[in-house]
Structure 1
Amino acid sequence: MELRQLEYFVAVTEEASFTRAAARLHVAQPGVSAQIRQLERELGQPLLDRSGRTVRLTEVGAAVLPYARAALAAVQGARLTVDELTGLLRGRVTIGTIDWSRALDLPGILAGFHRDHPNVEITVTQDDSASLAASLRAGAIDLAFLSLGGAEPEGLDTQVVVEHPLHAAVGLDHELAGRPAVALASLGGRDLISLPRGTGLRTVLDEACAAAGVRPRIAFEAGDPTVLAQLAALGLGVAILPESAAEPYADRLHTMPVVRPKLYGRIALAWRAEGPRNPAARALITRARDWLRNAPPAPVP
């Protein structure tokens, strides 16, 4: 019995197809079929039912699968341990981010890490903050830049990258235009323009409104703060956003801080509280934290 046979068996099981498994493993399909037939001959029982449109496990195959996965995991763990002890990093890390903002300088962090550890494969994925936090807890990603609400996310450790006050932006002919600030209570009953649920800034707004007894009326949602500014400039409502997102439209917008209470948005680096099992991920978290401490980020664009 060879590890390659177990790897092929697990891949076919997960893909429910010899063709997809071969593509995933970057080998020819006949080679996958031959190795699994050899494994079945050694065990004396069929592991896969090939009679249907999709490949399914036999009863014996279902019993063998956990042992195959455990054997592959043990070998991978041994390799990672040796790599860590010898100072050689390899493997894969996945980073989640809400955007490619200047405040994150994610390209700069990744460039330096890649120069020092060229054998580590890095994947970057984008999503909203709630989804990124869930993916971190599930172990689907190793670290993430996300926007925080009022409470710290459960099961995660964080390091704040940037904190900025939230502003209200309105068109120049809006009745609120000209005010130096606007109280949160004054926004009740008005058409608001906001980021969607699942984002940190929307969580801050919703939590503050709930605490103040204000019922927000969200007229428009958009995932990009600059789009919120554009909608407000068209007179469609009051946009809640970082002041910097409204700056390109200063000739068409009046911006003012939201007060009583003041609202703040925060972008943070986050990772699982118990730490990732992957040495490469641990090294990247350390690199990112050091980078952020020693190189203050630019303002949020």
Structure 2
Amino acid sequence: MELRQLEYFVAVAEERNFTRAAERMHISQSGISAQIRQLERELGAELFDRSARTITLTVAGKAALEHARAALAAARAVGRAVEETAGLIRGRLAVGMVVGCTITPLFEALAGFHRAHPGVELSLREDDSDQLIESVRSGALDLALVGTAAPPDGLETLTVISERLVAAVPAEHPLAGRGRITLRDLADHPLVCMPPGTGLRTVLDRACAARGLGLKTALEAGAADAIADLTARGLGVAVLSESMARHYRDRLTALPIEDATDPALLALVWKPTPNPAARKLLAHCRKTFATWPQALGA
């Protein structure tokens, strides 16, 4: 008994016609008939009732059909397993991350993946979030850690952090004594914030546009450390996420922005059908981010 015979048997059973089954399997009608006859001889029973114009399954044929389909599915699964193993023995995995990223669970996931699959060549690229998202869409990157205002269309997303924006100022700043502020309060002060193309900046710009406000961006930096250092030196009001601002509470006071209600997201993004290596890295990422104190729900 051969797999191709089972394929021909299933085709005839589904088409209920030898001619159509032969066309579907790209074989002559006489060829598929001969293979079915050979299968019936090996099994010792007829699988089809050929007495009428429409081919029907015999009792034996009905009993065999489910098992034939299962055998073919198992054979395909074997092929996929081998392909995935080969893909993890050799290959390349391209990963992206936002500029200035210091997210240690991502680094731990990359290290764990490398230890488990040393034959896969890893590449890592920094860029702003908009560019990273487009690179994932185009296939230039397999997955990326990005900041975004909302899950990108057409991509799968694992949200790591979802939190609101805050302003951060040194103790001597006029806003430091305020418990909460609004976006309009920020209009009178120069801002130090992330550049366009980043998730935090997109959330800020959308919130301002919704209220018809134009804020003055004095300085832009891609790393939270740089934003905090510039702000601590009196060069403007920092706009950061809640968890970012907590890192600098020894020198900056965080002020919730009441009317900036939409959260900024930190998320892993990838195409709906990731390759085997990307799936394995995602598994490592899920594990490392699940124990990260700043992760969503922690």
TM value normalised by structure 1: 0.64
Question: Which runs of structure 2 are paired with 1:185-200 in the superposition (5 Å)?
Answer: 185-200=184-199
Partner in structure 2 of residue 137 of structure 1 = 137
| Structure 1: gaps spanning 5 or more residues | 1-78
Q: Is residue 296 from structure 1 mapped to residue 295 from structure 2 by the alignment?
A: no
Q: Is residue 183 from structure 1 mapped to residue 182 from structure 2 by the alignment?
A: yes
Q: Which of these residues, 278, 282, 286, is aligned with residue 283 of structure 2? A: 286
Whether the aligned pair in 2 keeps the contact of 1:148 and 1:266 (CA below 8 Å) is yes
Provide the C-alpha distance between the structure 1 equivalents of 2:169 and 2:259, rounded to a whole number of angstroms.
19
Deviation at 1:129, TM superposition (A): 0.5
Partner in structure 2 of residue 109 of structure 1 = 109
Partner in structure 1 of residue 11 of structure 2 = none
SS of 2:151's equivalent? coil
Provide the C-alpha distance between the structure 2 equivalents of 1:296 and 1:209, rounded to a whole number of angstroms.
32
Identity of aligned residues (%): 44
Partner in structure 1 of residue 62 of structure 2 = none
Partner in structure 1 of residue 49 of structure 2 = none
SS of 2:164's equivalent? strand
Deviation at 1:183, TM superposition (A): 1.2
SS of 1:123's equivalent? strand
Structure 1 residues 213 and 100: alpha-carbon distance in aligned structure 2, compared to 1, 3 A threshold: closer
Deviation at 1:86, TM superposition (A): 6.8
Provide the C-alpha distance between the structure 2 equivalents of 1:85 and 1:233, rounded to a whole number of angstroms.
51
Q: State the AA in 1 paired with 2:109.
A: I
Deviation at 1:87, TM superposition (A): 8.3
Structure 1 residues 249 and 145: alpha-carbon distance in aligned structure 2, compared to 1, 3 A threshold: closer
Partner in structure 1 of residue 162 of structure 2 = 163
Provide the C-alpha distance between the structure 1 equivalents of 2:225 and 2:280, rounded to a whole number of angstroms.
34
Question: Which runs of structure 2 are paired with 1:21-100 in the superposition (5 Å)?
Answer: 82-84=82-84, 89-99=89-99
SS of 1:197's equivalent? coil
Q: Which of the pair has more CA radius of gyration?
A: 2
| Structure 2: gaps spanning 5 or more residues | 1-78
SS of 1:182's equivalent? coil
CA displacement, residues 99-150 of structure 1 (integer Å, 9 cap, x when unaligned): 575545122112222222221111111111011001001100100111111x
Deviation at 1:82, TM superposition (A): 4.2
Provide the C-alpha distance between the structure 1 equivalents of 2:214 and 2:96, rounded to a whole number of angstroms.
32
Provide the C-alpha distance between the structure 1 equivalents of 2:82 and 2:251, rounded to a whole number of angstroms.
60
Provide the C-alpha distance between the structure 2 equivalents of 1:193 and 1:263, rounded to a whole number of angstroms.
20
Question: Which runs of structure 2 are paired with 1:227-266 in the superposition (5 Å)?
Answer: 227-247=226-246, 249-266=248-265
Deviation at 1:203, TM superposition (A): 0.4
